[in-house]
């Protein structure tokens, strides 16, 4: 047909078994099973046609993307959302949740539990057209609707809501079941070990020297030189062999008694972004975070009350608690919003010995490194300790809370550790402060970042 006058071959789509919808593929792909492909032909003689491929594409009844269409839906289902936006110029997180629920309910009613990607995309664009303040641009990337639905990664608020609905479906209503990922990408640790053993004798001598030296005014320059000369070998070993925290500190014990080496290592990994959190958190992020929280309803807004009277120790802690409420634990983490902060920082009575922190049975569920504060936040003698109970590791710090959180985050990067699942959104938020984003985009994090950018 494409060889006939007035017609042209446009593109080919193949059915993707993972996403259960058709996605674009190379036009030279070999077509065998015709029911797995869609071929699009455009007609140059159709003046009313503006988008390539519309002539042969199956047409779905779209969710209204015009402001009037979405507004009509909300007028009949949830008028308070429109009233709040008209009054404040934005929406609280709770109102955004209701907006997503109403829109997905309409989408499911028209297209079932597995609506096409095009419909979700249309809906996402319609939302930010109706509510421009919900548009999110991080570092100038994207079109602003991706936190509602990103067609490339099939993620966003709309997809999250659909996923939650499908979780409650009966077996006969499910279109597919999730496959367990195989171990195809597992590292051959034996081969990696042989490779590491081939390091130069010079590097081995630096490691031996660094292990023997103890921190002192005379030894610190030599220790730093040894760490600098073993940096490449160390990063390769940590990334490829994925050693435990205990193994890393056995090989490089100076990380324990010279925590400043963690800052130096992080700076090399991130091309000098060592001070980003220290510079931004208290001076820029906290004031805006407080302003955003004050606009929310319920418990989040109440956390901002009376902050003016809080001590220097209490104020940063309250803001961390507030952040865990704005970015609560992901479903499935088995953690309440109230207890999420304890996976970042917990407290023990004054006088508790550092050695006993790893023996605390009440912290048995804390599998990832966290901060322990010995004493009260109001006490001038309080001390923060990075504690990794499973690895029997403690790193005493002589810093305030902000610097302690900064050191804990850097430790995760230096030792290539997985974030605590209870705080995955919080640590992803920290990545944006450091400008070292590597985690999967989380819609809630993008939403908070957008509100911070709009805050004054």
- Within this chain, do residues 116 and 252 fall inside the same structural domain, yes or no? no
- Within this chain, do residues 93 and 128 fall inside the same structural domain, yes or no? yes
CA dihedral (363, 369, 370, 372) positive or negative? positive
Strands 370-374 and 345-348: parallel
What is the domain extent for residue 247?
A: 197-269
Higher pLDDT, 376 or 56: 376
* Confidence label for 341 from pLDDT (cuts 50, 70 and 90): very high
H/E stretch holding 348 reads strand 345-348
Tell me whether residue 107 is in a domain: yes
At which of 40, 59, 78 does a domain end? Answer: 59
- Within this chain, do residues 361 and 385 fall inside the same structural domain, yes or no? yes
Structurally, the chain folds into a number of domains equal to 4
* Confidence label for 409 from pLDDT (cuts 50, 70 and 90): very high
Phi, psi of 371 (to 5 degrees): -95, 140
- Within this chain, do residues 293 and 165 fall inside the same structural domain, yes or no? no
Tell me whether residue 315 is in a domain: yes
Tell me whether residue 126 is in a domain: yes
Q: What is the mean pLDDT of the chain?
A: 79
pLDDT at 230: 93
Burial (CB < 10 A; 0-12, 13-18, 19+), residue 328, is buried
* Confidence label for 390 from pLDDT (cuts 50, 70 and 90): confident
- Within this chain, do residues 281 and 426 fall inside the same structural domain, yes or no? yes
Tell me whether residue 189 is in a domain: no
Q: Which two tokens stand for residue 343?
A: 């996976």
Q: Whole-prediction pTM value?
A: 0.67
Least confident residue range of 77-81, 134-138, 326-330, 450-454: 134-138
Q: What is the pLDDT of residues 227-262, one digit of tens each?
A: 999 999 999 999 999 999 999 999 999 999 999 999
Q: Percentage of the chain with pLDDT > 90?
A: 32
* Confidence label for 387 from pLDDT (cuts 50, 70 and 90): very high
- Within this chain, do residues 371 and 434 fall inside the same structural domain, yes or no? yes
At which of 246, 269, 292 does a domain end? Answer: 269
C-beta separation of 60 from 70 below 8 A: no
- Within this chain, do residues 285 and 402 fall inside the same structural domain, yes or no? yes
At which of 117, 152, 169 does a domain end? Answer: 169
Q: What is the pLDDT of residues 104-141, one digit of tens each?
A: 888 888 888 888 888 888 888 989 888 888 888 765 56
Higher pLDDT, 413 or 157: 413
- Within this chain, do residues 246 and 303 fall inside the same structural domain, yes or no? no
- Within this chain, do residues 354 and 375 fall inside the same structural domain, yes or no? yes
Most confident of 169-183, 185-199, 324-338, 416-430: 416-430
Q: What is the pLDDT of residues 170-203, one digit of tens each?
A: 766 665 544 443 333 333 444 344 444 444 456 7
Tell me whether residue 124 is in a domain: yes
pLDDT at 363: 60
> How far apart (Å, rounded) are the C-alpha atoms in residues 101 and 117?
17
Least confident residue range of 98-102, 294-298, 429-433: 294-298
Q: What is the pLDDT of residues 17-41, one digit of tens each?
A: 554 555 666 666 777 666 567 776 7
Angstrom distances, CA of residue 110 to CA of 20, 70, 438: 18, 15, 37
Q: Which two tokens stand for residue 194?
A: 């042989």
Examine the pLDDT at 60 and tell me if it is beyond 50.
Answer: no
Tell me whether residue 238 is in a domain: yes
pLDDT at 406: 97
pLDDT at 439: 80
Q: Which two tokens stand for residue 157?
A: 């608020």
Of 259, 260, 316, 275, the residue nearest 434 (C-alpha): 275
Assign residue 39 a region: left if phi > 0, alpha if psi is -120 to 50, beta otherwise?
A: beta
Task: Report DSSP state, residue 31.
Answer: P
pLDDT at 54: 37
Tell me whether residue 342 is in a domain: yes
- Within this chain, do residues 31 and 154 fall inside the same structural domain, yes or no? no
- Within this chain, do residues 313 and 435 fall inside the same structural domain, yes or no? yes
Examine the pLDDT at 293 and tell me if it is beyond 80.
Answer: yes
- Within this chain, do residues 258 and 294 fall inside the same structural domain, yes or no? no
* Confidence label for 97 from pLDDT (cuts 50, 70 and 90): confident
Tell me whether residue 188 is in a domain: no
pLDDT at 256: 94
pLDDT at 74: 85
């Amino acid at each position: 047909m494409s060889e006939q006058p007035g017609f042209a071959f446009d593109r080919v789509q193949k059915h993707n078994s993972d996403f259960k919808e058709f996605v674009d593929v190379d036009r030279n792909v070999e077509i065998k099973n015709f029911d797995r492909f869609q071929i699009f032909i455009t007609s140059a003689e159709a003046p009313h046609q503006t988008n390539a491929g519309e002539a042969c594409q199956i047409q779905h009844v779209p969710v209204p993307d015009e402001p009037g269409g979405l507004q009509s839906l909300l007028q009949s289902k949830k008028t308070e959302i429109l009233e709040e936006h008209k009054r404040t110029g934005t929406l609280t997180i709770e109102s955004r949740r209701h907006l997503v629920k109403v829109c997905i309910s309409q989408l499911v009613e028209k297209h079932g539990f597995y609506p096409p990607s095009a419909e979700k995309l249309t809906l996402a664009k319609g939302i930010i057209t109706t509510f421009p303040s919900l548009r999110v641009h991080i570092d100038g990337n994207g079109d602003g609707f991706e936190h509602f639905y990103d067609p490339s990664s099939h993620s966003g608020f709309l997809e999250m809501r659909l996923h939650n609905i499908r979780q409650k479906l009966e077996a006969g209503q499910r279109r597919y079941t999730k496959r367990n990922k195989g171990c195809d990408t597992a590292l051959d640790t034996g081969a990696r070990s042989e490779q590491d053993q081939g390091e130069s004798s010079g590097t081995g001598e630096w490691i031996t020297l660094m292990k023997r030296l103890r921190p002192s005014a005379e030894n610190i320059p030599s220790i730093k030189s040894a760490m600098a000369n073993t940096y490449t070998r160390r990063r390769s070993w940590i990334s490829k062999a994925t050693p435990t925290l205990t193994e890393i500190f056995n090989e490089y014990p100076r990380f324990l008694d010279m925590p400043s080496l963690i800052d130096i290592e992080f700076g090399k990994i991130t091309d000098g972004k060592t001070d980003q959190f220290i510079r931004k958190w208290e001076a820029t992020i906290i004031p805006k975070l407080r302003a955003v929280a004050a606009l929310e309803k319920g418990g989040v807004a109440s956390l901002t009350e009376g902050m003016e009277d809080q001590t220097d120790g209490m104020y940063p802690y309250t803001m961390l608690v507030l952040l865990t409420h704005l970015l609560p634990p992901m479903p499935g983490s088995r953690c309440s919003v109230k207890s999420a902060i304890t996976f970042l920082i917990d407290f023990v009575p004054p006088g508790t010995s550092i050695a006993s922190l790893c023996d605390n049975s009440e912290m048995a569920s804390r599998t990832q490194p966290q901060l322990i504060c010995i004493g009260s936040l109001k006490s001038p003698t309080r001390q923060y300790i990075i504690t990794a109970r499973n690895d029997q590791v403690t790193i005493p710090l002589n810093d305030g809370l902000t610097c302690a959180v900064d050191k804990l985050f850097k430790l995760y990067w230096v030792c290539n550790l997985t974030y605590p699942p209870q705080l995955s959104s919080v640590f992803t938020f920290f990545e944006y402060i450091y400008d070292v984003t590597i985690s999967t985009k989380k819609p809630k994090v993008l939403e908070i970042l957008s509100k911070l950018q709009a805050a004054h």
